[in-house]
């Protein structure tokens, strides 16, 4: 009984009062993050903002529980409740699958699929463009995927930037190339390369003036099975160089004299992008639901797990390949601060993921995804 009284009524030191204050703040922000799958950014964008940092917030709550328990303080209950409520969110953020050989079935079909935001083949990095362009193309060609979905694609009829011709020659595949922007002899867009015959293609145009787009490609596998491949690039945030420099300074503990303006700039860009993605994912999920074929969707969704965007895609009847065969946080975007997974391979529930890999090449600001699916 005395121990219970000590646990319940132990007075707080000055340090612990500050600790409790920060604990309450972190718990509130975590609770907001947990609302992100259910509240559209069209209604309220703050939960979506908080959700970006959900993995770190969850870990912070674990730390608070441990600190309070070590001191026999009742305040451990606060973060403990948050951890229990938020555990379902963890499952979409972290995967724990150990690599092992999977025996392949003789009567099954296996497709290796790559998704890669190629950042216009590093076109604007004039000093290293040739080197990184070659590295990106080598990554694409050497992995020999059956289906290759590329976002932020760039090509030109003029060498050495004739990327489409280079890949067509190296791969010998069929192609579904959609151009969204033309500047002189520079062509920008999105493309799907397929080892298998293409029988139909289509496009989901989100906005007439936007570069963000989704295309679909119907491919015939084994002469009789048609699969619809969606390749999407949802609304980008369009952070500026100043924004990225500010985030790097924040990560490295470097003081910034323009802190408030930088925070306001990033918040505004994020909020606008979230709202646009809501409209885009509504169009995309409608197309998925109307499809009568098996579906594979890959691409740069520019949104993290447990976001409203991600949740709508999953609710359209798709499974996340990373959850089935990935490991860790699955970081696909080289952000300065956070382990962001914003590129996905999703598929119909009748399809099984047997292998998932995030390739380590840093030629783009995104890492490429390579997955193998069983049909």
Convert the pLDDT of each residue in 120-144 to its tens digit: 998 887 557 778 999 999 999 999 9
Domain(s) labelled CATH 3.60.10.10 in the chain stretch across: 110-374
Residue 111 near residue 375 (C-beta atoms within 8 A): yes
Phi, psi at residue 90, to the nearest 5°? Answer: -65, -35
Distance CA 183, CA 252 (A): 38
Q: How many CB atoms lie within 10 A of CB 98?
A: 5
What pLDDT, in 10s, does the model give residues 145-177? Answer: 999 999 999 999 999 899 999 999 999 999 999
At residue 315's C-alpha, the angle toward residues 31 and 226, to 5°, is: 150
Distance CA 371, CA 60 (A): 32
At residue 296's C-alpha, the angle toward residues 328 and 324, to 5°, is: 30
β-pairing verdict for 343-347 and 352-358? unpaired
Instruction: Find the helix or strand (DSSP H, E) in which 6 lies.
Output: helix 2-9
Q: Whole-prediction pTM value? A: 0.91
* Superfamily of chain region 110-374: Endonuclease/exonuclease/phosphatase (3.60.10.10)
Q: How far is CA 22 from the centre of its chain?
A: 29
pLDDT tens over the chain, length 375 residues: 555 555 455 678 889 999 999 999 999 999 999 999 999 999 999 999 999 999 999 999 999 999 999 988 899 999 999 999 999 999 999 998 887 777 778 788 899 999 999 999 988 875 577 789 999 999 999 999 999 999 999 999 999 899 999 999 999 999 999 999 999 999 999 999 999 999 999 999 887 666 799 999 999 998 788 999 999 999 998 888 888 788 877 777 787 778 888 888 888 999 999 999 999 999 999 999 999 999 999 999 999 999 999 999 999 999 999 999 999 999 999 876 778 999 999 999 999 999 999 998 889 999 999 999 998
Detail the DSSP E strand segments found in the chain. 95-96, 110-117, 147-155, 174-183, 186-194, 198-205, 213-221, 225-233, 294-300, 319-320, 327-328, 343-347, 352-358, 369-374
β-pairing verdict for 213-221 and 225-233? antiparallel
């Amino acid at each position: 009984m005395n121990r219970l009284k000590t646990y319940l009524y132990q007075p707080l030191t000055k340090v612990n009062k500050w600790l409790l204050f920060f604990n309450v703040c972190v718990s509130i922000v975590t609770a907001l993050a947990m609302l992100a799958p259910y509240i559209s950014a069209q209604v309220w964008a703050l939960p979506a903002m908080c959700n970006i940092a959900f993995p770190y917030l969850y870990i912070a709550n674990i730390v608070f529980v441990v600190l309070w328990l070590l001191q026999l303080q009742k305040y451990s209950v606060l973060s403990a409740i948050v951890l229990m409520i938020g555990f379902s969110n963890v499952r979409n953020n972290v995967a724990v699958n150990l690599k092992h050989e999977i025996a392949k079935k003789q009567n099954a079909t296996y497709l290796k699929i790559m998704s890669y935001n190629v950042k216009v083949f590093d076109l604007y990095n004039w000093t290293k463009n040739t080197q990184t362009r070659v590295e990106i193309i080598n990554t694409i060609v050497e992995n020999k995927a059956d289906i290759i979905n590329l976002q932020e694609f760039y090509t030109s009829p003029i060498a050495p930037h004739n990327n489409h011709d280079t890949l067509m020659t190296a791969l010998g595949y069929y192609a579904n190339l959609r151009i969204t922007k033309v500047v002189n002899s520079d062509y920008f867009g999105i493309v799907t390369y397929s080892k298998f015959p293409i029988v139909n293609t289509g496009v989901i145009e989100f906005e007439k003036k936007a570069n963000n787009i989704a295309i679909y490609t119907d491919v015939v596998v084994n002469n009789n099975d048609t699969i619809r491949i969606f390749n999407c690039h949802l609304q980008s945030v369009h952070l500026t160089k100043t924004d990225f420099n500010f985030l790097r300074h924040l990560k490295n503990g470097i003081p910034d004299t323009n802190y408030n303006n930088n925070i306001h700039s990033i918040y505004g860009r994020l909020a606008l992008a979230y709202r646009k993605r809501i409209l885009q994912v509504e169009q995309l999920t409608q197309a998925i639901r109307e499809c009568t074929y098996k579906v594979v969707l890959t691409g740069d969704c520019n949104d993290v797990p447990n976001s409203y965007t991600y949740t709508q895609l999953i609710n359209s009847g798709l499974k996340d390949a990373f959850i089935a065969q990935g490991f860790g946080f699955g970081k696909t975007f080289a952000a300065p601060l956070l382990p962001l997974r914003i590129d996905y391979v999703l598929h119909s529930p009748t399809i099984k993921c047997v292998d998932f890999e995030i390739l380590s090449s840093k030629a783009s600001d995104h890492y490429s995804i390579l997955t193998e699916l069983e049909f």
